[in-house]
Amino acid sequence: MAANAEWRGTWEQWRNWIEYWLDRARLEDSLSVKI
């Protein structure tokens, strides 16, 4: 169970990073800049 809790924490971090990069990509796309 402890490992599962750690995985959930990691998943939350990944979700935060994904959302961050999606927002960043959207911002750069609005500036006509591709990653």
pTM: 0.54
Task: Examine the pLDDT at 25 and tell me if it is beyond 80.
Answer: yes
> Looking at residue 32, what DSSP letter applies?
T
Taking CA atoms, 24 is separated from 5, 29, 30, 32, in Å, by: 29, 8, 10, 12
Q: What is the mean pLDDT of the chain?
A: 83
Q: What is the pLDDT of residue 35?
A: 53
